[in-house]
Amino acid sequence: MNIWHDLQPDLVRREEYMVFTANSIGSTAVLSFDGAAGLLCLNHLSDSNIGAPNNTGYLPRTCTPEDMPVETVILCSQPLPAMTLVRCRPVGLVIVHLEHGGERKLLLSAACADEFWSACLTVDEIPSANRKALVRYLRYDQQVISQPAASIEFQGLEQAEQYFDACQREYLLRYCGVRPQEGAENLPVG
C-alpha cells in the first residue's frame, strides 16, 4: 500500500482530512516521504538538543509543485508515532520564504481527537509561545539542510483552504487524469 495514493478519496476533504504522521514532538530524526515507495525515510538528524515542537505529517491525495504530498504541522498535545493516521482539520498555513528564492509551505492542522487543539479555529488562537517555537525550529531545520529561511509567515484558514484545493486539483490531474471544470469551486475527490 502506498499511503499517498491508496487512501480512500472521501477521507481527504478540505474541511477534514486524514494525515499520516512523519515526525513526533521532541524527535531529532527528521523523516521525509519517499513518494515512489510510499514510505518515510530518514532525511537528516537534528542536534540532540533541538527536537521538533510539533508532530508533522503529509496529506494523502494532494500534490505540491515539487511532486510531493502536502506537508502539515499537526497541532496536538502528545507525540504521535510515525505512519499513524490522524483525523485533522485546517487552521492555517505557514510559508517559509527562502533566502535564495522559493518557498516551503506547510498546512497547520488541528488534530480532531485532541480536546485542546480541536478548539483552535484560527491561526490567531495558536498561543504565541507555540508559534515562536515553530518558527525557531523551522529556521533551524532550514539551516541544517542548507536552505536558510529569510522569513516565516503565518496565513489564515482561507489561504490554507486555497492551498489545499490547488494541491488536490494538481493530484487529481497528475495521478487520476481528472481535469478541473471552469469555475468549479470544489472538485470531487475520487
Backbone φ, ψ for residue 155 (5° rounding)? -120, 165
C-alpha grid cell, residue 174: 497528475
pLDDT value of residue 36: 86
Q: Classify residue 40 as left (phi > 0), alpha (psi -120 to 50) or beta.
A: beta
- Per-residue pLDDT tens for 2-16? 899 999 999 999 999
Confirm if 106 and 118 have CB atoms less than 8 A apart: no
pLDDT value of residue 47: 82
- Per-residue pLDDT tens for 126-139? 999 999 999 999 99
C-alpha grid cell, residue 125: 488562537
pLDDT value of residue 35: 87
pLDDT value of residue 189: 41
> Cα dihedral sign for 44, 17, 93, 110?
negative
Which of 149, 55, 38 has the alpha carbon at shortest distance from 109?
55
| Residues of the chain predicted below pLDDT 70 | 180-190
